[in-house]
Amino acid sequence: MLLSASWQREVIDWSIIGSTAVGGGLCAKSYPLFDKPLIGGPGNKPYKEDQIPNSWVFAGGLAGVGLASLLPNRDGWLNDRSYRHLKGGLQALTVGFLIKDFAKIFFGRPRPDYHDRMSQQIEVRKARKSFPSGHATHAFTTATYLGLYTWDEWKCDEPLALAAKSGITALLAAGAGYVAYSRIADNRHYPCDVIAGSILGAGTALFFYSYQQWWGNPDTTGEELAQTSNLPPISIQLVSIRF
């Protein structure tokens, strides 16, 4: 028996999450594919300690996914929308993880602290993984997804609610911006690395939010559609005529 459309969708969704997570992990542990970098850089900055470790960024991303699946939405708490946001958030994170880590080993760009890192033999495997910024990618994935959630799921036009949603969005943007800036200040990335990572993160969040929330809704009845559009339901009756 063939799988139903809903089960096919579940298989596709979780296959995306699993395969991209594994692929990203393999790329993260690999050296650049080419001996000569496809994108150059002077690499003459001193090595510094990270202000924001990788573990913090991953924890923040998972926390963002958890918030999107646990916070109330249009239908209440812990419902089908919550489950779709769980999948959408994980897909955005893991696909961004794969793309940015494959790009790192493909372009092989030396980090700003490349020469100092190599002379001290500090994380040599990561010395040519400057483009794009992984911190910026994951930070903007989380901020964009939660920002979309705030405006799309919490439907309220009251001035206080609009001010609260605007404040939340501003805080999310400021947090992601600070993470991105810290990578330049720590001599881990060039500005264009951070910009590319930010675009990648925001893009994957927008794509998978749309995929789960707007393109992935289950079939609705005429009455449900009428409720969402504030129009009266339309019933269609078939009448058989005998001659």
pLDDT recorded at residue 141: 98
For the chain, domain boundaries: 5-217
Integer angstrom CA distances of residue 64 from 26, 60, 89, 180, 219: 24, 6, 8, 17, 28
Dihedral angle sign, alpha carbons of residues 172, 175, 179, 185: positive
pLDDT, tens only, 213-235: 888 665 443 344 344 444 444 33
Tokens 């005429």 belong to which residue? Answer: 222
Please provide the CATH number assigned to the domain covering 5-217: 1.20.144
The residue among 129, 85, 93, 61 whose CA lies nearest residue 203 is: 93
Q: Are 137 and 197 in contact (CB under 8 A)?
A: yes
Mean pLDDT by 10 residues, the chain (243 residues): 66 96 96 96 95 94 94 91 95 98 98 96 94 98 97 88 94 97 97 98 97 70 41 38 34
pLDDT recorded at residue 47: 96
pLDDT recorded at residue 40: 94
